[in-house]
Amino acid sequence: MASLDRSSVWQRVSAGCLGVQDTVNVHVPIADILGIPIHRVSRQQLLQLLQERKEAGLTTWLITANAELIVRADDNPSLAQTLRKADLLVADGSGVVWAGRVLGSYLPERLPGVEIAEELIKWAADEGLSVYFFGAEPGVAEAAVKQLCSKYPGLPVAGYHHGYFAESEGREIVREIEQLKPDILLVALGAPRQELWIEQHISFLDVSIAIGVGGSFDIWAGRVKRAPGWMGDWGLEWLYRLATQPRRAKRMLALPQFVYRVIKARFTSR
Ligand code: UDP
């Protein structure tokens, strides 16, 4: 992780040591996007917070929320409640950054889950932190680990397991993670299943950071390509995904819903 200005964040984290586990939620400004609190942090600030929280011995559950997840939560109060329990929620895509602008709460930049997870992996390789990879189809986590280990030599891999399991196997996976105590736990079960899984297990897994990473393992394993950077910058990553994975079409109906609901919220909140 890049070298960071530590002073201001350290005060917040120190307060966390005094037992205020939610200090980050109190001190980082938030954008309310359809009832979901999105932390208004840049990439640098996010990485700094994660680092400082780890050093302070706090567990951080991080969600990178995209428009689709926020629409789902808007339709499902129980899911919204789950998301609000995370320690940090950030804007995964340009749709959420746009919503912040429309609703008068500036969000500095998009922080896609796959990029944030890779930042964590770089950090892990640099600092000797262990990482557990949980999710995706059989063979994919392993292929992703292989790629990442050749890109970041020395990456300490605590373990990996695919995400297609029966209930009894699921208990075994939890036991394994419990015993291995990885510093960083990447959960790639797709949203919102990964968030529900983390909610259910985070209280007794001894990890520093847990994050749902959606299809990131498929990308690292070379099974799925990301949209070119310029498409992401123009807010067109969804179009690329639609063209390359047409089975996602139904899920993408959430995007116009998101735009409609944000504009409606803008005019009803005046
Ligand atoms: N997945 C899984 N178990 C399941 C369902 C899905 O491990 O029961 C994995 C799936 O193989 C894929 C990821 O979850 O690797 C979801 O990827 P998707 O691209 O849908 O996630 P997004 O990035 O859109 O959240």
- Model pLDDT for residues 241-254, shown as the tens digit of each residue: 999 999 989 998 99
In this prediction, residue 223 carries a pLDDT of: 96
**Tens-digit pLDDT profile for residues 195-218:** 999 999 999 999 999 999 999 999
In this prediction, residue 233 carries a pLDDT of: 83
How far is residue 19 CA from its own chain's centroid? Answer: 24
Q: What is the dihedral of CA 98, 100, 105, 106, to 10 degrees?
A: -40
CB 194 within 8 A of CB 64: no
- Counted domains in the chain: 1
Q: Considering the domain boundaries, does residue 232 fall inside one?
A: no
**Tens-digit pLDDT profile for residues 118-171:** 999 999 999 999 999 999 999 999 999 999 999 999 999 999 999 999 999 999
Q: Considering the domain boundaries, does residue 14 fall inside one?
A: no
In this prediction, residue 24 carries a pLDDT of: 46
pLDDT score of 13 more than 50: no
CATH code of the domain in which 184 resides: 3.40.50
In this prediction, residue 18 carries a pLDDT of: 31
Cα gap 91→100, rounded to integer Å:
9
Q: Considering the domain boundaries, does residue 27 fall inside one?
A: no
In this prediction, residue 8 carries a pLDDT of: 37
Ligand 1 geometric centre to CA of 69 (Å): 13
Ligand 1 geometric centre to CA of 101 (Å): 29
Top mutation candidate among 68, 137, 145, 251 for ligand 1, by most atoms within 8 Å of CB: 137
In this prediction, residue 198 carries a pLDDT of: 98
b/e sequence 226-253, b meaning 16+ C-beta within 10 Å: bbeeebbeeeebbeebbeeeeeeeebbe
Q: Would the CB of 215 count as within 6 Å of ligand 1?
A: yes
Q: Is the peptide bond before 192 cis (omega within 30 degrees of 0)?
A: yes
Q: Given phi > 0 = left and psi -120 to 50 = alpha, else beta, which region is 218?
A: alpha
**Tens-digit pLDDT profile for residues 29-84:** 999 999 999 999 999 999 999 999 999 999 999 999 999 999 999 999 999 999 99
Token reading at 139:
């063979």
Q: Would the CB of 163 count as within 6 Å of ligand 1?
A: yes
For residue 5, give every residue at least 6 positions away whose Cβ sits within 8 Å of its Cβ, in sequence order, or none. 48
Atom of ligand 1 nearest to the CA of 113: 23
In the chain, what percentage of residues exceed pLDDT 90? 83
Whose C-alpha lies nearest to ligand 1, atom 19? 215
Whether this model's pTM surpasses 0.85: yes
Q: Would the CB of 232 count as within 6 Å of ligand 1?
A: no
How crowded is the C-beta side of 256, counted as CA atoms within 13 Å?
A: 3
pLDDT score of 189 more than 70: yes
Q: Considering the domain boundaries, does residue 158 fall inside one?
A: yes
In this prediction, residue 232 carries a pLDDT of: 86
Cα gap 67→48, rounded to integer Å:
25
Helices first, then strands: H and E counts in the chain: 14, 8
Top mutation candidate among 218, 245, 248 for ligand 1, by most atoms within 8 Å of CB: 218
In this prediction, residue 270 carries a pLDDT of: 56
For residue 243, give every residue at least 6 positions away whose Cβ sits within 8 Å of its Cβ, in sequence order, or none. none
Q: Considering the domain boundaries, does residue 125 fall inside one?
A: yes
In this prediction, residue 2 carries a pLDDT of: 42
* More confident of the two residues 154 and 3: 154
In this prediction, residue 153 carries a pLDDT of: 96
In the predicted model, what is the mean pLDDT of the chain?
90
Q: How confident is residue 183, by pLDDT bands cut at 50, 70 and 90?
A: very high
Q: Would the CB of 219 count as within 6 Å of ligand 1?
A: no
* More confident of the two residues 221 and 12: 221
Whose C-alpha lies nearest to ligand 1, atom 18? 215
- The domain of 97 spans 44-224
Top mutation candidate among 68, 92, 164 for ligand 1, by most atoms within 8 Å of CB: 164
Token reading at 79:
């899911």
